[in-house]
Amino acid sequence: DRALISGGLAIEPYVAGAPSIRLAMPTAPLSVVARDAGVFRGLTVGGGGPPSTILHALTTIAPGIVLVTGGAQAQTMATTTSTLWAIDDAGTVSGTGDVWTYTATTALREARWGHTATLVPGRGILVTGGFRRSTADQRLSPVDEAELILIDDLLGLPRPDPVPCAVDAGPAFDAGRR
């Protein structure tokens, strides 16, 4: 009965010799739509939230908790791939009923937009792919690194102690001998 709506682009009238429209700056990034007795209403997400972005990824990590990662911000009113800059923000949206809050968590190692964020049960969220723009030469390039965000870190839980592994010493291996 609750749905998280994330971002999007505004559409503006654009006149360049003929009636038309153009995509504009990203809209507010997060809102929750509630359905009560067949009536839909919008709920505000408190806590500030990430900047207005598009092309970010949302991943449900537990009932009532969604992770928002990365995204792109446009640097001009005309939103095209040449005006998009990746961000490294990550945070959770959580709540019940009418009270929903965005909480910044950990930043991504690589700023990215157009990526995937996949839940790996019992481990974390695997963030892969996407694009970024180089500040040095302004070129758009794919992100070729993946990163794993641990669920325990997101939820503020203590990390479990490492499990020691038995090492089988076995005979020494010499790659030069056959």
Of 30, 109, 112, the closest CA to residue 71 belongs to 112
Half-sphere exposure of 147 (CA within 13 A, CB side): 15
pLDDT digits (tens, 9 = 90+) for 161-177: 666 665 555 555 444 44
Q: Which residues 6+ apart lie within 8 Å of 65 measured at CB?
A: 92, 93, 94, 155
pLDDT digits (tens, 9 = 90+) for 14-37: 556 555 555 555 556 677 777 777
Please give the single-letter amino acid code of residue 92: T
pTM of the predicted protein model: 0.71
Asked whether the beta carbons of 30 and 48 are under 8 A apart, the reply is: no
The CB-based long-range contact list for 39-45 (8 Å cut-off, 24+ gap) reads 43/2, 43/98, 43/100, 44/100, 45/93, 45/95, 45/100, 45/101, 45/102
pLDDT of residue 143: 92
pLDDT in tens, the chain (178 residues): 677 776 666 656 555 655 555 555 555 667 777 777 777 777 778 776 666 677 888 888 888 888 889 888 766 554 555 667 788 888 888 888 888 888 888 789 999 988 999 999 878 899 999 998 877 777 888 999 999 988 877 777 776 666 666 555 555 544 444 4
Distance in angstroms (rounded) separating the CA atoms of residues 43 and 32: 5
